[in-house]
Amino acid sequence: MKRAAKVGLALSAISLTLSGAVSVYAEQIADLVLELNTVEDVGSACRLSFVAKNTTGQQIEKAVFETVIFDSTGSVVSLKLFDFRDLPMDRPRVRQFDLTDMACGDLGQALINGTSSCVVGGVESTLCQSSLSLKSRIGVELLG
């Protein structure tokens, strides 16, 4: 019985190691990652800074996302199109968007509601939506 328990523990350890490796591998090939990196009050606007990383293996010539902004009470404040422009392969890009007449302290969440436009190889593509991964480095949640 002791041998069976040791084998079971060894298999559990191997399983955890492999699942961790798969998780790291999945993050490395996360395709198109949009990270809400910072928010900053600029005059009467709240500036959102995103870091975009395109590891899809394809050049994205244009990426526009329909974005819904919620205040800290959960109410919809606005629906905007955030134009991330071109997103070259394997090169991070920072894109900034100003929310006019809104203090960053009033910002609750941002929702990527969908892709308005994604151009790859000169034609509209579903790549931006199908490979999208979202995260936030700050207290403001980025949903999708």
pLDDT for residue 4 = 52
What is the domain count for the chain? 2
pLDDT for residue 91 = 97
Give dist(CA 90, CA 112) in Å, integer. 22
How many Cα atoms occupy the beta-carbon half-sphere of 132 within 13 Å? 20
* Domain identity same for 78 and 129: yes
* Domain identity same for 113 and 136: yes
CATH number at residue 124: 2.60.40
pTM equals: 0.78
* Domain identity same for 63 and 6: no
Averaged in consecutive runs of 10 residues, what is the pLDDT profile of the chain (144 residues)?
A: 49 43 46 97 98 97 98 96 98 98 96 98 97 97 96
Measured over the CA atoms of residue 27, residue 59, residue 144 and residue 141, the dihedral's sign is: positive
pLDDT for residue 138 = 97
